[in-house]
Structure 1
Amino acid sequence: MSYIKAGQDANGQDVKLHYIDQGQGNPIVLIHGWPATYEMWEYQLAELPKHGNRVIAYTRRGFGNSTKTWDGHDYDTLADDLKAVLDELDLQNVTLVGFSMGGGEIARYMSRHGGARVARVAFVSAVTPFLLKTDDNPDGAPQKVFDGMVDGIRKDRFDFLASFGKKFFGVGVVSHPVSDATLDWMRSMCQLASPRATEQDVYAFAATDFRRDLQTIKVPTLVIHGTSDETVPHKMSGARMTQYVPHAKYVEYDGAPHGLFITEKDRLNQDLLTFVGATVNAQANQHTY
């Protein structure tokens, strides 16, 4: 296994992030969603390197085979972890692709670290711009929604993950877009997370307001969201992104659930490949995809 050191935790222990690095060419960094690992990108890791790309994916602290830290489950720390990945591998002209919670890491990294080393960014089923309902964010979800998630995790994390997986992929009485084997694979992956990280990251992606972070993004931006996403509904997330990143290209996948990296894998791969080949007219600030 390969690891990148991302500083130390509050007890002075090294924090190591499990990662994979394959292919050659344009660097693409894939940032996974909650509560999975980088292995969720199986179909992207299998396809994107075939087209002249170097593809790196890593698992955030507290999940999978990365260090199980007690603290540090806030977006400032997670953005610093992303910086450690880019710096350690000395990546330049990077395309960042963040799924769900991973979109928050991109937004915070771009503001906190000035977008260093980054050429373009893609938000897939992302939690941005802001999920929590507040006085100035009336379209968000009430706090009780996220408290209910944490309560479910504390009561029976494994049962919660089983139910969450079905909603994640849009599985219902008459709809079964993924196999039982895929549901088992995803659940097993998510069970590797520490209970502490699983809980704390809910509060992180629920309560973090990324609206100001997004306004700092000047590079080409792609936003992809499924219209049948019940986990992070597109009307409170993807559909609002151009309010804060006016030059972003917003693409809706009609009828797609949250986990479209599986259900719409071929289309997603093609859209990402097209995006990586984008050209930028810097003077006119126009972006061609």
Structure 2
Amino acid sequence: MGRYVQVEDNVKIYVEDIGEGIPVIFLHGWPANHLMFEYQYSILPKEGYRCIGIDFRGFGKSDAPWESYSFDRMADDLKAVIDELHIENAALIGFSMGGAVASRYMARHQGKGISHLALMGSATPVFTQRPDFEYNITKEDLNEQLIIPTYEDRPKMLSQFGLKFTHTKSKAPMMVWLESLCFQASNHGTIKAAESLRDEDLRGDLQHINVPTVIFQGQKDKICDPQLAELTQQSIAGSRLVEFEHSGHAMMFDEQEKFNSELLLFLNQMSRDNHTPRAASRNL
């Protein structure tokens, strides 16, 4: 079931709510939308989980205001959704930029409504290099590869970006589908969210995360270097790193079976931790 939640600045955020049971909130990567988790939505409700997919402002079916694409603003949008849906003891799943927003939410809003966190190919602790941070892409390269081409030829940018997304060449048809999701984003939302990826720094946020956390990372990732996952794990006390040896950035496509298995393992442990019975499994 789809619905809209109106947030503080009169922007409407689209939310897809599927199934019943323990809530699992999905935050998509740049510049896709909630549908990138289609192959989790088709499985988890059978296992007693309620899947809540959110389109960030500027992406998918959500409104696309001209301004306000900071991680603070997107974390506030997430809080508005959690408050509106009265969500408690949920798992928060953040992929790539979604992982960055999830981390900001956990620090900025003290993890309200969230009992467990999963960061996947996460753009944390910092996506671009700084004088005191030598990992991943430079700000200049991000401008040249993502922002300037979006002003000039967004379809070409998306096509070239998509080439880095998976490691498995046989997944090319899946990437065509994913690219179609990225076309649904607004042009200015794509640019301004990329500017946030370029400029934001989450090193101060990670130390405030105090819920059980798992980190999924493709070892062939060409977008978020695997070293970022190691640094993220070091920054979040008690977190666990799951490596996907044969995956690029999008391990949910490269190693779909392992991804779903590890995600269910994490969620089932959450259910035990919270002493929360899942909705009855349904073999649909």
Q: When the two structures are superposed, what TM-score results if normalisation uses the length of structure 2?
A: 0.91
Tell which deviates more after alignment, 192-201 or 237-246: 237-246
If asked which structure has higher relative contact order (CA below 8 Å, sep 6+), I would say: 2
Which whole-Å deviations, capped at 9, do the CAs of 1:243-278 have from their partners, x for residues lacking one?
211310001100201122222222111111111122
2:169 to 166, 176, 191: 176
For this pair of structures, how many residues does the alignment match? 270
Please tell me whether the aligned partners of residues 2 and 18 of structure 1 are also in contact (alpha carbons under 8 angstroms): yes
Partner of 1:23: 19
Shift of 1:280: 4.7
1:106 alignment partner, one of 99, 102, 105: 102
SS at match of 2:53: strand
Q: Which moved more, 1:214-223 or 1:262-271?
A: 262-271
- Give 1:102 deviation, angstroms: 0.2
What SS class does the counterpart of residue 55 from structure 1 fall into?
strand
Structure 1 stretches of 5 or more lacking a match? Answer: 9-13, 282-289
- Matched with 1:32 is 28
Choose from 229, 246, 253 the match for 1:255: 246
Q: Distance in 2 between matches of 1:115 and 1:206?
A: 24
Q: Deviations over 1:109-153 (max 9, x none)?
A: 111101111100000011011122112112242211111121111
User: For each residue in 1:156-203, what CA deviation from the matched residue of structure 2 results, as whole angstroms up to 9, or x when unmatched?
Assistant: 101111111121123xxxx513133x2221111111111111111111
SS at 1:212's partner residue? helix
Give the secondary structure class of the aligned counterpart of 2:56: coil
Aligned pairs for 1:209-224 within 5 A: 209-224=201-216
Q: Secondary structure at the match of 1:36?
A: coil
- Give the % identical residues: 34
Q: Distance in 1 between matches of 2:172 and 2:193?
A: 27
TM-score, normalisation: structure 1: 0.90
Using the alignment, how far apart are the partners of 2:127 and 2:175 within structure 1? 26
Q: Does 1:139 align with 2:140?
A: no
In structure 2, how many angstroms separate the alpha carbons of the residues matched to 1:25 and 1:3? 21
Q: Does 1:2 align with 2:3?
A: yes
Of 226, 237, 251, the residue aligned with 1:246 is 237
Moved over 4 A (4+): none
Structure 2 residue runs of 5 or longer lacking an equivalent are 275-284
For 2:172 and 2:147, locate their aligned partners in 1 and report how far apart those are by CA, in whole Å: 27
> For residue 281 of structure 2, what is the aligned residue in structure 1?
none
> Conserved in 2, the CA contact under 8 Å of 1:125 and 1:226?
yes
For the Cα contact (< 8 Å) 2:217–2:244, is it kept in 1? yes
Partner of 2:120: 124
The 8 Å contact of residues 33 and 99 in structure 1, kept in 2 or not, is answered as yes
- Structure 2 match to 1:150: 147
Task: Write the distance in 1 (CA, Å) between the matches of 2:14 and 2:112.
Answer: 22
What secondary structure does 1:161 align onto? helix
Structure 1 Cα separation of the partners of residues 41 and 12 of structure 2: 21
Letter matched to residue 210 of structure 1: L
| Cα separation, 2, equivalents of 1:27 and 1:17 | 18
Q: Which residue of the other structure, out of 41, 60, 70, is the alignment partner of 1:64? A: 60
In structure 2, what is the Cα distance between the partners aligned to 1:150 and 1:60? 18
